């Protein structure tokens, strides 16, 4: 081979070697340009081409590149592709806040609670324990799967804006009811009624609380008088009956709202008994009419 041909061949190989990687990065740059323009579907196509070309050229693909492509696929609505690329990113030991937030969102949309929980817990353990949206969602999931201790623990990390949200207060209310934490339930029920004066479960809690407080006191004091019919005991009875009346009236304020929501057999026995204690036969009989 003549020396001139050798030089030409060398030059071709040299420029090909230099041009190869540069041409491959064009697809990556195209993807970034499409992302900036909001053309996420086109960006996914560019990412796929870039990955394919890199694989054929045995070039390196970083975990960060897979993660960036995955986020693009998620924005394009291609969640299966997004998960596949996120998996590649994790395989290459890449981990990022946005990656796990996106994974949690994808698995939530797919109704895959266990994988959503894994993504959120990884995020909380490795990035931030003070993300209100993440902690609020964790509280909801823990409540849904009956992980009470974890639910109560994450509740303490919620900001006041999340704690005062009706949906979260309702869950906290039910958790503490199940745990028989009556003092907490009392407080939360009132907080719920401040937000929603017609909240059925909170109204029922307070209606029943005052009803049984009055009814039990009435029976207890009547029993004391029956076993000791003295003037002194009678005076004590009258004093306690004033308390009974006031407490029954407090109960009625809640039962009346409940009756507006659901007039009928559910609340009628309690209201009939309250008016019977008031010696109001007309109203007592009215509510008895709803009892089968």
Query: pLDDT digits over 110-148, tens only?
Result: 999 999 999 999 999 999 999 999 999 999 999 999 999
Q: Is residue 168 part of a domain?
A: no
* More confident position, 53 or 272: 272
Residue 291 within any structural domain of the chain: yes
DSSP H helical ranges for the chain = 3-36, 40-56, 63-75, 79-91, 97-109, 113-126, 132-144, 148-155, 160-163, 166-178, 182-195, 200-227, 231-261, 268-277, 281-288
Query: Can you give the pLDDT at residue 24?
Result: 63
Residue 24 included in any domain? yes
What average pLDDT does range 83-111 have in this prediction?
95
**pLDDT exceeds cutoff 70 at 196:** yes
| Main-chain phi, psi angles of 99, to 5 degrees | -60, -45
Confidence of residue 11 (pLDDT cuts 50, 70, 90): very low
Instruction: Judge whether 277 lies within some domain.
Output: yes
Number of separate domains in the chain:
2
- How many alpha carbons lie under 13 Å from residue 109 in its C-beta half-sphere? 12
**By residue range, what is the domain housing residue 211?**
200-292
Q: Choose between 13 and 172: higher pLDDT.
A: 172
Between these two residues, 210 and 9, which has the higher pLDDT value?
210
**Listed residues 48, 78, 94: the one ending a domain:** 94
What values do phi and psi take at 263, rounded to 5? Answer: -70, 125
Report yes or no on 18 lying in a domain.
yes
Closest CA to 74 of 47, 34, 105: 105
Q: What integer pLDDT is reported at residue 80 of this predicted model? A: 95
- What number is the average pLDDT over the span 171-179? 96
Q: Which of 94, 123, 138 is the last residue in one of the domains?
A: 94
What is the rounded CA–CA span in Å between residue 122 and residue 124?
Answer: 5
- Is pLDDT at 27 greater than 90 in this prediction? no
Asked if the model's pLDDT at residue 229 lies above 70, the reply is: yes
Q: Is residue 65 part of a domain?
A: yes
In a domain, 141, yes or no: no
Percent of the chain with pLDDT over 70: 92
Residue 23 inside a domain? The answer is yes
The pTM for the full model equals 0.79
């Amino acid at each position: 081979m003549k020396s001139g041909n050798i030089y030409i061949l060398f030059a071709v190989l040299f420029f090909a070697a230099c041009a190869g990687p540069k041409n491959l990065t064009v697809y990556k740059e195209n993807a970034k340009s499409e992302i900036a323009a909001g053309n996420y579907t086109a960006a996914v196509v560019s990412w796929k081409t870039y990955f394919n070309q890199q694989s054929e050229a045995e070039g390196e693909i970083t975990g960060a590149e897979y993660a960036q492509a995955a986020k693009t696929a998620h924005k394009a609505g291609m969640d299966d592709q997004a998960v596949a690329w996120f998996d590649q990113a994790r395989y290459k030991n890449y981990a990022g806040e946005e990656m796990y937030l996106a994974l949690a969102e994808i698995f939530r949309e797919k109704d895959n609670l266990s994988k959503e929980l894994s993504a959120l817990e990884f995020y909380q353990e490795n990035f931030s324990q003070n993300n209100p949206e993440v902690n609020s969602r964790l509280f909801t999931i823990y409540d849904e799967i009956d992980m009470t201790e974890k639910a109560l623990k994450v509740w303490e990390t919620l900001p006041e804006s999340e704690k005062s949200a009706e949906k979260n207060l309702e869950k906290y209310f039910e958790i503490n009811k199940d745990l028989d934490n009556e003092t907490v339930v009392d407080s939360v029920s009132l907080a719920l009624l401040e937000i929603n004066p017609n909240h059925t479960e909170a109204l029922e809690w307070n209606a029943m609380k005052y009803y049984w407080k009055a009814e039990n006191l009435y029976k207890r004091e009547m029993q004391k008088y029956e076993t000791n019919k003295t003037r002194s005991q009678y005076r004590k009875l009258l004093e306690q009956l004033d308390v009974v009346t006031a407490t029954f009236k407090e109960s009625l304020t809640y039962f009346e709202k409940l009756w507006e929501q659901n007039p009928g057999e559910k609340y009628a026995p309690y209201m009939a008994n309250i008016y019977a204690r008031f010696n109001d036969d007309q109203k007592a009989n009215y509510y008895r009419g709803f009892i089968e």
